[in-house]
């Protein structure tokens, strides 16, 4: 009986991406624990450090998530006094996410994490950049919804 190799786990791109994502998350976990952050909280902080004043909806969009999935993360970051939700001056129905002094101070510690992860990965800056570009391009080619026959 001939085996169908395309169904082997080791031949699946989805598993390579999934297991790599798990490995990266596990690499970050002890480093982020020292900051009191989860991986998702760290991703939200990265966005706010880069673009302070975004709305919750904008942050969720950058993470390819729904606002409802990000709301508890934002509330926790607010409870940790890293960010605050501030009413937008032009539209008080809209909330902007801004950094507190504690959130600004956390950024320098996070920079050390990024350097540590780069060292631990064993690949140089050019390889890392190329890999990221290729993954971004692949993700952008994926359909948002699958149309079944």
Question: What are the sequence ranges of the domains in the chain?
Answer: 41-124
Q: Which tens digit of pLDDT belongs to each residue from 19-43?
A: 999 999 999 999 999 999 999 999 9
Q: Which tens digit of pLDDT belongs to each residue from 68-79?
A: 999 999 999 999
Question: Looking at the predicted structure, is the pLDDT value of residue 1 above 70?
Answer: no
Q: What is the CATH number of domain 41-124?
A: 1.10.10.10
Q: What is the 3-state secondary structure (H, E, C) of the chain?
A: CCCCHHHCHHHCHHHHHHHHHHHHHHHHHHHHHCCCCCHHHHHHHHHHHHCCCCEHHHHHHHCCCCHHHHHHHHHHHHHCCCEEEEECCCCCCCEEEEECHHHHHHHHHHHHHHHHHHHHHCCCHHHHHHHHHHHHHHHHHCCCCCCCC
pTM (two decimals): 0.86
């Amino acid at each position: 009986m001939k085996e169908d190799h395309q169904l082997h786990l080791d031949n699946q791109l989805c598993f390579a991406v999934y297991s790599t994502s798990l490995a990266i998350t596990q690499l970050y976990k002890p480093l982020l624990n020292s900051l009191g952050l989860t991986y998702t909280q760290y991703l939200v902080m990265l966005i706010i450090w880069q673009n302070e004043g975004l709305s919750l909806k904008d942050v969720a969009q950058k993470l390819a998530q729904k606002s409802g999935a990000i709301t508890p993360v934002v509330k926790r970051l607010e409870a940790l006094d890293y960010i605050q939700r501030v009413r937008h001056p032009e539209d008080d129905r809209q909330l902007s996410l801004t950094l507190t002094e504690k959130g600004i101070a956390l950024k320098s510690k996070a920079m050390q994490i990024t350097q540590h992860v780069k060292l631990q990965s064993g690949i140089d800056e050019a390889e890392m950049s190329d890999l990221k570009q290729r993954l971004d391009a692949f993700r952008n080619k994926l359909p948002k919804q699958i149309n079944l026959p």
